[in-house]
A and B are shown apart, each in its own frame.
Chain A
Amino acid sequence: MATTTAAEPTRRDFIYIATGAAAAVGGALAAWPFIDQMNPSSAVLALASIEVDIASIQPGQSVTFKWRGHPLFVRRRTPKEIAEANGVALSDLKDPLARNANLAEDAPATDRNRSTKPEWLVLVGVCTHLGCTPTVSTPQVPQGEYGGWLCHCHGSQYDTAGRIRKGPAPENLAVPPYSFLSATRLKVG
């Protein structure tokens, strides 16, 4: 009404706002189950760790396992490959972080921080660009310029410590949580 002068909130205003707020919160609460059902189910989460036998892997060889639906690279590096990775200055790296789930988040990407035992490089084989599986480089069939891996999808190149050196990928290949159960058995996840 044009003649109403009350600047004070009325009881009716209060009821409008309270009803609106209750509807908004109720709506959000009701929507959540419909959204959260898409997240990984407990059955998927339960399968999150595996054990692998690495006894037969020869120096210079890289073997692919499957972990959490992803490829898992286990590479037994040669002394030359380790030396190459060690020779890289941190300032030459695109991603300065170790991305090693076994270390602190801010650990630097030195070669030492990329593996538990330098001879064994354990990586999630998922290109950090858009998720393709990179191809391993060997002295016989080199892939890219850095002796590690080349992702054919959009040309990302990784070195012998799995660190991103060139191409669109933003991060080093991830090091999953893992531990040695014995000299030849590895638990991942």
Chain B
Amino acid sequence: MSGPSTYVPKTAFSRWLDARLPIIRFANDTMLTFPTPRNLNFWYAFGAILTVFLGIQIVTGIVLAMHYVPNENLAFDSVESIMRDVNYGWLLRYMHANGASFFFLAVYVHMFRGLYYGSYKAPREVLWILGVVIYVLMMATAFLGYVLVWGQMSFWAATVITNLFSSLDQIVPHVGTAIATWLWGGFAVGDATLNRFFSLHYLLPFAIAAVVGLHIWALHVPGNNNPLGIDVKGPQDTLPFHPYYTAKDAFYVALFVVLYMAVVFYNPDLTGNPDNYIPANPVVTPPDIVPEWYLLPFYAMLRSVPQKLLGVLVLAGAIVTLFFVPWLDTSKVRSCRFRPQMKFFFWFFVVDCILLGYLGSQSVDAAWNLAGIDLPLVWVARFATAYYFGFFWVLLPLVGLFEKPKALPDSIAKSVLGNAQPMPAE
């Protein structure tokens, strides 16, 4: 879609460089003149927001690592020392901890956006799959980072998550335990575990950056999808990325960063768990262990199953399902704007995910009292889990077959401009 390069080197140096390493041409074609549908809305700013947050996490992380000590006896104190003694340490740590939260907030918006506008459909399947890979790497990175603090929640999160692998014992005896022992480097989560988690927590963000590169490459082959979900038919449907989308993205990035810094400055422990200010104690589990908010829906699914192996399979299945989405949706129309039934199920799915998140934060034996009858929350979680899977494996295939989509507009330009003449894009 990007077509032949329009870059013309203007100076002697840029001509010289262009013949040797056409890096300016590359930047020009991908970031400046790149033809972008003229109807991208607010929800399309989250890609830029995510890129900025990956940068924030890497920069704050690298400076935190200058003061952090990955040792079971020193880690917790080193984080406290970052908070109290290191110049601006409190700011850097709160930026990093809340940066992870906002990173996930942005990625969830970005993913729901993709689901709503059918951005995973042909020819963008690989783009979607790379996105899911990034999401999985993000979850791994955030989990590893959370363990580094070596508070009570850190320790028990590490224990519970690594023990997910021990469920494999129920398929091949001893294999699961062997994997868990290998992950721990001991008989339990301990010093060896903390050290390797630090090593990997440092590594994975760079792996994410690499996959982001592939993700954007895969985006630039077919070009952006758009809220109408129809293909770009010609130059009248697009605008150059710069200045139109650089300006629009920058505006929303700034807005999002304001929100983020407001939390960093005024309520930095908003999503944190107070138990993580208690140093790790390997012999006492806190009464209520909960993961960070962004993992709660999966935690609710895990807990809703009363059998160990099945619970782990449901948890893994919920994530793996995302890889299949491009082939589960049978509809010919991409955008939910023109899919009246799917639109309804989509919004129900959003509510379902939020509900699962809420359920994951409640204690296991909690119940809702409805007109005198106790409705155990595990049952609510079971229904919510069923809808999560049903949405992907039943509704996406079936609704696409039976739904009658609304009429699609002729072109992006017509839909945006009516009969007015499109302005020539410079």
The answer on a CB contact under 8 Å between A152 and B287 is: yes
A170: B residues at CB distance < 8 A: 170, 307-309
Residue of B nearest to A152 (CB): B287
A64: B residues at CB distance < 8 A: 283
The residue from A69, A129, A167 contacting B187, defined by CB atoms under 8 A apart = A69
The answer on a CB contact under 8 Å between A40 and B308 is: no
A167: B residues at CB distance < 8 A: 306
B196: A residues at CB distance < 8 A: 38
Knowing A38-B196, A40-B181, A153-B160 touch, does A133 contact B288 (C-beta < 8 A)? no
Could you tell me the distance in whole angstroms from the C-beta of A125 to the nearest C-beta in chain B? 7
A68 vs B186: C-alpha distance in the bound complex, in angstroms? 8
Cβ of A154 under 8 Å from chain B: yes
The answer on a CB contact under 8 Å between A152 and B282 is: no
A48 vs B189: C-alpha distance in the bound complex, in angstroms? 15
Cβ of A185 under 8 Å from chain B: no
The answer on a CB contact under 8 Å between B187 and A168 is: no
Cβ of A187 under 8 Å from chain B: no
Knowing A39-B185, A41-B192 touch, does A125 contact B305 (C-beta < 8 A)? no
The residue from B187, B302, B308 contacting A169, defined by CB atoms under 8 A apart = B308
Cβ of A142 under 8 Å from chain B: no
The answer on a CB contact under 8 Å between A125 and B283 is: yes
Knowing A41-B192, A133-B284, A169-B308 touch, does A68 contact B364 (C-beta < 8 A)? no
Cβ of A131 under 8 Å from chain B: yes
The answer on a CB contact under 8 Å between A153 and B189 is: no
The answer on a CB contact under 8 Å between A155 and B365 is: yes
Chain A window 155-189, contacts with chain B (Cβ cutoff 8 Å), 1 for yes, 0 for no: 10000000000011110000000000000000000
The answer on a CB contact under 8 Å between B308 and A168 is: yes
The answer on a CB contact under 8 Å between A168 and B305 is: yes
A132 vs B184: C-alpha distance in the bound complex, in angstroms? 15
Indicate the member of A71, A130, A133 with the most B CB atoms within 10 Å: A130
Could you tell me the distance in whole angstroms from the C-beta of A4 to the nearest C-beta in chain B? 38
The answer on a CB contact under 8 Å between B192 and A40 is: yes
Summed over the interface, the residue pairs from A and B with CB atoms below 8 Å come to a total of: 96
Measured as residues with beta carbon below 8 angstroms from the partner, the interface class of chain A is: 20 to 34
A90 vs B33: C-alpha distance in the bound complex, in angstroms? 74
Could you tell me the distance in whole angstroms from the C-beta of B167 to the nearest C-beta in chain A? 8
The answer on a CB contact under 8 Å between B283 and A71 is: yes
- The interface on chain B, measured as residues whose beta carbon lies within 8 A of the other chain's beta carbons, has a size of 38
Cβ of B164 under 8 Å from chain A: yes
Cβ of B224 under 8 Å from chain A: no
Could you tell me the distance in whole angstroms from the C-beta of A174 to the nearest C-beta in chain B? 10
The answer on a CB contact under 8 Å between A154 and B309 is: no
The residue from A66, A125, A131, A152 contacting B159, defined by CB atoms under 8 A apart = A131
A156 vs B282: C-alpha distance in the bound complex, in angstroms? 19
Cβ of B182 under 8 Å from chain A: yes
Main secondary structure of the interface of A (DSSP, over half): loop
The answer on a CB contact under 8 Å between B187 and A131 is: no
Knowing A38-B196, A44-B192, A130-B163 touch, does A152 contact B185 (C-beta < 8 A)? no
Residue of B nearest to A44 (CB): B186
Cβ of A117 under 8 Å from chain B: no
B184: A residues at CB distance < 8 A: 40
Cβ of B190 under 8 Å from chain A: yes
Cβ of A70 under 8 Å from chain B: yes
The answer on a CB contact under 8 Å between B182 and A69 is: no
Indicate the member of A68, A129, A132, A154 with the most B CB atoms within 10 Å: A154
The answer on a CB contact under 8 Å between A69 and B190 is: yes
Could you tell me the distance in whole angstroms from the C-beta of A85 to the nearest C-beta in chain B? 23
The answer on a CB contact under 8 Å between B187 and A154 is: no
The list of the 7 closest CB pairs from A to B, nearest first, reads A69-B188, A68-B187, A71-B283, A131-B163, A130-B163, A132-B285, A130-B160
A: residues with CB less than 8 A from B are 35, 38-41, 44, 48, 64, 66, 68-71, 125-126, 128-133, 135, 151-155, 167-170
Given pairs A64-B283, A130-B166, A152-B287, 18 additional interface contacts (CB within 8 A): A39-B181, A66-B282, A68-B186, A68-B188, A69-B188, A70-B188, A71-B284, A130-B159, A131-B159, A133-B283, A133-B284, A152-B364, A153-B160, A154-B364, A155-B365, A168-B306, A168-B308, A168-B311
Q: List 24 A-B contacts (CB under 8 A).
A: A38-B182, A38-B185, A39-B182, A39-B185, A40-B185, A41-B192, A44-B192, A48-B187, A69-B187, A70-B187, A71-B284, A129-B308, A130-B160, A130-B163, A131-B162, A131-B163, A152-B363, A153-B285, A153-B289, A153-B364, A154-B302, A155-B364, A170-B170, A170-B308
